Amino acid sequence: MLIRSTEIEDAASVVALDRNVAETGEFNVRTVEEREWNIEKMREWVRERLESPGGLAIVAVVPAADGEPSDGGGGTIIGGLGFTTARFERLRHHGHFGIGVHADWRGRGVGEHLVRTLIEWARAHEFIERIDLGVFAENHPARALYRKLGFVDGCIREREFRYGPGRYGDDVQMSLWVK
């Protein structure tokens, strides 16, 4: 597996990854019905991160063996991470990220490699000082990974997610100072 910058040409593969994550994962803010899998919008999302001084879009790729089909770029995209900061001066020292890993690759270190790459990039970045995220309180494997990588719990947004009548989940805000 290798981690590389997302390219605009990856849009269709990233849309397919997002669909897999939405259809197989329980810890998604938007429901499957609320998602819009549009390749042109994904191209624009990638373009925005590539052009933003505080943006990052990376993918985890399994290289194709000789003669095997690939998503393009010489492999199959199995995970992705997007990070962005605010454009306002007083807020741009920190940013938030989202991450997704294909169901067939969860629990195999893909997410950890993506987040470690983000941390290294942020430490070398000229103005980013903190990485933030929100995670479902019930997503114990993700919370354990983030703690292992140095993230600490901030606030808990109680009942942030409504699963159905009388069923709620909390959102745990976590952060890591990289400078």
Q: Provide the pLDDT for residue 99.
A: 98
Other Cβ atoms within 10 Å of 116 Cβ, number: 13
Other Cβ atoms within 10 Å of 177 Cβ, number: 12
Q: Specify the amino acid at residue 24.
A: T
| Residue 42 Cα to chain centre, angstroms | 14
User: Which residue segments constitute the domains of the chain, with CATH numbers given?
Assistant: 2-133 (3.40.630.30)
As a whole number, mean pLDDT of residues 8-20 equals: 97
Residue 92 — very low, low, confident or very high, per pLDDT cuts 50/70/90?
very high
As a whole number, mean pLDDT of residues 53-77 equals: 82
Are the C-beta atoms of residues 50 and 5 closer than 8 Å to each other?
yes
Model confidence pTM above 0.85: yes
Q: For 137-165, how does the pLDDT look when each residue is reduced to its tens digit (9 = 90+)?
A: 999 999 999 999 999 999 999 999 999 99
Residue 97 has pLDDT above 60, yes or no: yes
Q: For 105-142, how does the pLDDT look when each residue is reduced to its tens digit (9 = 90+)?
A: 999 999 999 999 999 999 999 999 999 999 999 999 99
> In the chain, at which residue ranges do the beta strands (DSSP E only) sit?
2-5, 56-63, 75-85, 94-101, 130-136, 152-164, 167-177
Q: Provide the pLDDT for residue 73.
A: 61
The residue written with tokens 């959102």 in the block is: 171
State the Cα–Cα distance between residues 95 and 101, nearest whole angstrom. Answer: 20
State the Cα–Cα distance between residues 79 and 77, nearest whole angstrom. Answer: 6
Q: Provide the pLDDT for residue 37.
A: 86
Q: Provide the pLDDT for residue 67.
A: 56
* The Cα angle at residue 173 between residues 169 and 178, in degrees rounded to 5: 155
Q: Provide the pLDDT for residue 70.
A: 58
Alpha-helix runs per DSSP H in 52-133: 110-124
As a whole number, mean pLDDT of residues 72-101 equals: 93
